[in-house]
Structure formats: C-alpha cells, structure tokens
Amino acid sequence: MAELQFFTGTMDSGKSTLALQTNHNHAARGRQGRMFTTHDRAGVATLSSRLGLTHEAIEVTPDFDFWRYTVDTLTRGGRIDFLICDEAQFYSRAQVDQLAKIVDELQIDVFAFGILTDFRTQLFAGSARLVELADRMHTLQVEALCWCGKRATHNARTEDGVMVTEGEQVVVGDVDDLQGPPSEVAYEVLCRQHHRRGLTAARARAVSLTSEPLPFG
C-alpha cells in the first residue's frame, strides 16, 4: 500500500540529502518519480543539498496543484510511482491534502521532507498538516549541533549577526558560515537553551572576549 511519509529535522540535518538519496534508491529499482521543491537555496526548480548535490525539480508555487499535475500526467500516458517533496514546510495545507489524496486514490508513494518550526518556534502550516495526515513520520537521526555541542533543536534567524524573533515567516537563506562574517539574513541551528536566550555563536564569541555577563535571565 502506498504511504505518505514525512521526514523532518532542523536545518543542516540532511533532509535534502536524504530526499536525493531516496529518489536515487527508487529509480535504481526501476521506479519512476517526480521531484518537487520550493524556495531552495540553489534557486528555482532545483533540489540541492549542502553536500553539493543537485537535481532538477518542479518548483511548487502557491497555486500549484499536485492532484491536477499527477492526474494530467497519468492521463497523458505518463508513469509516476512516487513523489519526492522537499521543503514541504512551505507547502499550503491544501497542497498537503492533495498529496494525501494522491496516496489514497492513486496509490502513489509520497516522501515529504521539511522542518517543523520556523525561527519563532512556530509550526509551519505545511509541516503541521503533514503531522496530522502522514502515515509515518520520521525524525532524522543525523543530528545538527548547536555551537555549544548540544543537539540543535531550533532554527534561528539572524539579521546582520543579531538573532531576531519577529518578521516574515519565509525569508530564503542558509545556515550561516559560523567561521566567517554574518550575512545580512542568515540562519543558525541552536539548542533550546541558547535559542531562548538569543545566544548565537557570534554573540557567544563576543561575550567570551568581554566582561559582559551571560544572559541568564
């Protein structure tokens, strides 16, 4: 029986790498699939991993209809055995409903990959709906690490190196290079403790060089 599976983890936990590997494994067994993504760091219609791997994909726009695309493809004689859906946190609830319908009505496997919460620690709409509907949910075992060495559980957004907790939910960026200067808008994964305190790697380094007390409030 076909399933809707949701693979989740923080940024930098290997979700896109796993999406590419899943596609490769199924294609190697003669199965034919389609790959989808949106707001990928590499640009439009590209599914990329931080390891440097890329694959052409279909860009999911706000008005994209998974059900219509799949039915139209099958009607024209195309074959689809599975769908790979990366950056699924950005999909709408209606689009996730379409994916579930594809699984149930067409018996096509759907593998969705995405993060659960945004930089404000609030659930993305697409991820929330996937939690509600998925046949199986998997937390990635490759653990991203906070600058302190603990397991990272939260995604932080920085602007000019300063952590922010307000703003638009979707601003495309990547995990910041912690060894280089901060970009205007970047992301960093933190443990809950340091996310709550707003203590990024850059701020921790700055604090260690001054007499400023750590924010234990």
Report the alpha-carbon angle 91-93-95, nearest 5.
60
Which has the closest alpha carbon to 29: 81, 107, 70? 81
**Cα–Cα distance measured from residue 44 to residue 60, given in angstroms and rounded to the nearest whole number:** 9
**184 is annotated as an active-site residue:** no
In angstroms, the CA 22 to CA 28 distance is 10
Rounded distance, CA 99 to CA 108, Å?
9
- What is the separation of C-alpha 143 from the centre of its chain, rounded to a whole number of angstroms? 14
First to last CA, the chain: 52
Which of 8, 11, 53, 51 shows the shortest CA–CA distance to 145?
Answer: 11
* List 3, 56, 59, 87, catalytic entry: 87
The two three-digit tokens of residue 165, written as one number = 């907790």
- CA 1, CA 110: separation in Å to the nearest integer? 12
Structure tokens at 93: 């609830």
User: Amino acid letter at 88?
Assistant: A
Catalytic residues: 87
